[in-house]
Amino acid sequence: MVVNVVVLDYGSGNLRSAERALARAGAEVTVTADFDAALNADGLVVPGVGAFSACISGLKSVRGDQIIGRRLAGGRPVLGICVGMQILFAEGVEHGERTEGCGEWPGVVERLEAPVLPHMGWNTVQAPEGSVLFSGIDPATRFYFVHSYGVRKFELVAGDGFVQPLVTWAEHGVPFVAAVENGPLMATQFHPEKSGEAGAVLLSNWLGTL
């Protein structure tokens, strides 16, 4: 069965490269800001490149925060990529300025502490046991990152009635969150659409959850 995926166009992100990668993985892909199309697709991909504040502003301009919230309330899959992952957290801090995010997860997106920034290039990740996104991918595999900011502490812990999200970590100067799997809400700090065969497998794994 072919699944339909919307790549949300809110003025940020590698829209066409994400579109092509998802199509190669077998999805029927539409790039659009249309509210109903994004709400009703089998899967929604939220890309993002650039500043946290600009991305969250663009997202809200197309009611993307509402789309994400309503999809998740109905258990409908969402995949965030790069800053599209970061804006799912509670807030971002850039140059001393705090910007409120979507708040799907607690936590702060902040500047990494590393000798060289941005963190640009290929890096390994440490995926947890039971990961769906990284199923069938060799632990030594490298993924492509481009960022200076990240989440250095994942603050959501298991409580009554909900399962602890699966968190994948990477390191550049300090450990940071490289991916999260939380029921219908999944996200990667790296770019699967730029990560070659490994990224293609990851996207195929995500499409398999739709």
CA distances for 71 relative to 19, 45, 58, 68, 122, angstroms: 20, 12, 19, 5, 32
The question of whether 82 is a catalytic residue gets the answer yes
Q: Which of 55, 82, 102, 172 is catalytic?
A: 82
CA distance 141 to 3: 27
Q: Do 92 and 86 meet the contact criterion of CB atoms below 8 Å apart?
A: yes
Over its C-alpha atoms, the chain yields an Rg (Å, rounded) of 16
CA-wise closest residue to 70 among 184, 157, 209, 165: 184
Q: Which of 119, 147, 172, 191 is catalytic?
A: 191
The question of whether 95 is a catalytic residue gets the answer no
CA distance 147 to 134: 21
Q: Which of 91, 104, 110, 193 is catalytic?
A: 193
For residue 77, give every residue at least 6 positions away whose Cβ sits within 8 Å of its Cβ, in sequence order, or none.
Answer: 42, 43, 44, 71, 184, 185, 186, 206, 209, 210
The question of whether 102 is a catalytic residue gets the answer no
Catalytic residues: 82, 191, 193
